[in-house]
Structure 1
């Protein structure tokens, strides 16, 4: 959530942010009104409580008719205090409810617009000319079937659409990717973490995934637990309700977890293969830093993602995501999109977001520095979303006979294997 003090001091900035996100601008005025009622009712309650305490002292000294009159007055005052307390609590609840609906403030350099209004910042690598090499590229599903690596038919039989099995070298390729990604993150100073896949509502809400993203979240009604769509959620909630000493920052974690997404609203999109699925594994970077260090940390996360994709020898571009496509928690987001030959376009593989103080305020995570306590900043960055990375590797490193060359960085994790060969079933 944002700082209410900032809202009161510069509401136009918050309105502009809401407008850029394509969200309800009227929410700002509703929140200002609720906050004013919260503060005025708090003042009224404090005044009545002070009067009540003073009256209690007078009653203790009074006698006879004077005491009887004071007792009657105290009875009326008690009712007023109770009403004021109820009004204060109602105003506070309304303020918090509205505040949780408000997205993070959009960074001023973010391009304004929707999904297609991003700005390309960098392009890396070159696209292969398959025509010059004398063959038509196969898509990742055909390659996966040739290699005995992907089985979507049995995935659908067992679990439904958008589920799959990784088999044989497909399973080995996932393990190689995860181990290589964790090795890179560990070398960069991240603490490796295996995180819970189920979290409580306060963890999911605190990271901002029960607002506009709620339709993509799986909920277990009986247990009131949520399946995470990213290990960002448990990593953000890891220090919930804690005060962290400034000398411990930055804190960097690399979480590995299964991820679950309904993919609501994606009907008809990427229905072939494993690009857009309901369950996948992912390695996620997460940082806790001082707020003034957040933008520099954002660039570091992006550099680690670029380093990873370069090590996989994939052509990719970096985009500055437009305001309406940010997600509630992010003030700014960079995506790295790999070239997918059979689609003839770039598709998102990794993403990194600067969430400033938005999540830490909701999760009550603070930093102590020079005896002062204040919210810190949180950032996240996908290092390896496994299925999409497999898609990019298979398509970009395929050979005419259906085999796939293994990037050098993965070979130590595949027993030195340089090529994935087609299998006969």
Structure 2
């Protein structure tokens, strides 16, 4: 959530952010009104309580005639205090409910618009010319079947559409990717973490995934637990309700977890293969930093993502995501999109978001700097979303006979294997 003081001091900035997101601008005025009622009812309650305490001191000293009048006033004050307390609680509850619906403030340099209004910041690598090489590229599913690596038919039989098995070298390739990604993150100073896949509502809400993103979340009604769509959620909630020491920052964690997404609203999109699925594994970077360091940390997370994709020898571009496509928690987000040959376009493989103080305020995570205690900043960055990375590797490193060259960075994790060979039918 944002700082209410900032809202009161500069409501136009908050309105502009809502407008850039394509969200309800009237929410800002509703929140200002609720906040004013909250503060005025709080003042009213304090005044009545002060009078009530003062009256309590006068009654024992009063004469019999005065005491009757004072006791009558005390009875009325008791009712007034109770009413003011209820009014204060109701106004506070309304303020918090409206505040939780408000997205993070969009960074002023973010391009304004929807999904297609991003700005390309840079491109890396060379897109292969398969025509010049004399063969048409196969898509990742055909390659996965040739290699004995992907089985979507049995995935659908067992679990339904958008589920799959990774088999043989497919399973080994996933493990190689996870180990290589964690090795890079550990070398960069991240603490590796295996995180829970189920979290409580306050963890999911605190990270901002029960608002506009709730339609993509799996909920277990019987237990009132949520399946995470990213280990960002447990990593953000890891220090919930804690005060951290400033000299311990930055704190950096690299979480590995299964991820679950309903993919609501994606009917008919990416139905072939394993690009868009309901369950996948992912290595996620997460940082806790001082608020003034968040933009620099955001650039560092992006550089680690670029280093990873470069090590996999993939052609990719970096985009500055437009305001309407940010998600509630992010003030700014960069995506790294790899080239997918059979689709003839770049597709998202990694992303990194600067969430400033938005999540830490909701999760009550603060930092002690001398005598001052204040919210800190949180940031996240996908290092390796496994299925999409497998898609990019298979398609970009395929050879004419259906084999796939293994990027050098992965070879130590595949027993030195340089090529994934087709399996005998």
Q: TM-score, normalised by structure 1?
A: 1.00
Distance 1:60 1:241 in 2: 44
Q: Distance in 1 between matches of 2:63 and 2:165?
A: 85
Structure 2 gaps, min length 5:
none
Counterparts of 1:294 and 1:320, CA distance in 2: 16
Q: Distance in 2 between matches of 1:13 and 1:306?
A: 32
Q: What's the CA shift string for 1:167-207, capped at 9, x where partnerless? A: 00000000000000000000000000000000000000000
Deviations 1:209-235 (A, max 9, x none): 000000000000000000000000000
Instruction: Report deviation, 1:97.
Output: 0.1
The 5-angstrom pairing of residues 94-109 of structure 1 reads 94-109=94-109
1:149 maps to 149
Q: Which residue of 2 aligns with 1:205?
A: 205
- SS state at 1:219 partner: strand
Q: Which moved more, 1:67-76 or 1:175-184?
A: 67-76
Taking the aligned partners of 1:320 and 1:397, their CA distance within structure 2 comes to: 27
1:159-170 correspondence to structure 2 within 5 Å: 159-170=159-170
Separation in 2, partners of 1:272, 1:63: 89
Task: Note the aligned Cα RMSD (angstroms).
Answer: 0.5
SS of the residue 2:298 aligns to: helix
Deviation of residue 114 (structure 1)? Answer: 0.2
SS in 2 for 1:336: strand
- Structure 1, residues 129-157: CA drift from partner, whole Å, max 9, x if none? 11111100000000000000000000000
Deviation at 1:370, TM superposition (A): 1.4
- Aligned residue for 1:184, secondary structure, equals helix
1:66 is displaced (CA, Å) by 1.6
Aligned position for 1:334: 334
How far apart, CA to CA, are the structure 1 residues paired with 2:58 and 2:147? 89
- Tell me the distance in 2 between the aligned counterparts of 1:72 and 1:9: 43
State the Cα distance separating 1:345 from its structure 2 match.
0.1
Deviation at 1:247, TM superposition (A): 0.2
1:381 — aligned with what?
A: 381
Aligned equivalents of 2:359 and 2:49: distance in 1?
A: 34
Per-residue deviation, 1:61: 1.8
- Partners of 2:197 and 2:95 in 1: how far apart? 31
Aligned partners of 2:241, 2:350: CA distance in 1, in Å? Answer: 29
- Looking at structure 2, the residues matched to 62 and 142 of structure 1 have their Cα atoms a distance apart, in angstroms, of 94
After TM superposition, give the deviation of residue 70 of structure 1 in Å.
1.1
User: What runs of 5+ residues in structure 1 fail to find an aligned partner?
Assistant: none
Alignment-derived partner of residue 265 in structure 2: 265
Tell me the CA shift for residue 63 of structure 1.
Answer: 3.8
Q: How many Å apart are 1:424 and its aligned residue?
A: 1.9
> What is the total number of aligned residue pairs between the two structures?
425
TM-superposed deviation, 1:64: 1.6
Separation of aligned partners in 1, 2:83 and 2:65: 28
Residue of structure 2 in register with 1:226 after alignment: 226
Q: 2:95 is paired with a residue of what secondary structure?
A: helix
**Offset, 1:164:** 0.3
1:321 CA displacement = 0.1
Deviation at 1:360, TM superposition (A): 0.2
Counterpart Cα distance in 2 of 1:148 and 1:424: 9
Give the CA deviation at 1:65: 2.3
Cα distance in structure 1, aligned partners of 2:279 and 2:60? 69
Q: CA deviation at 1:68?
A: 1.9
Deviation at 1:62, TM superposition (A): 2.1
| 1:71 CA displacement | 1.1
* TM superposition shift of 1:60: 2.1
Q: What is the rounded CA distance, in whole Å, between the counterparts of 1:79 and 1:89 in structure 2?
A: 16
**Once the two structures are superposed, what CA deviation does each residue of 1:239-289 show, in whole Å capped at 9, x if it has no partner?**
000000000000000000000000000000000000000000000000000
Deviation digits for residues 325-382 of structure 1, max 9, x if unmatched? Answer: 0000000000000000000000000000000000000000000001100000000000
The TM-score normalised by the length of structure 2 is: 1.00
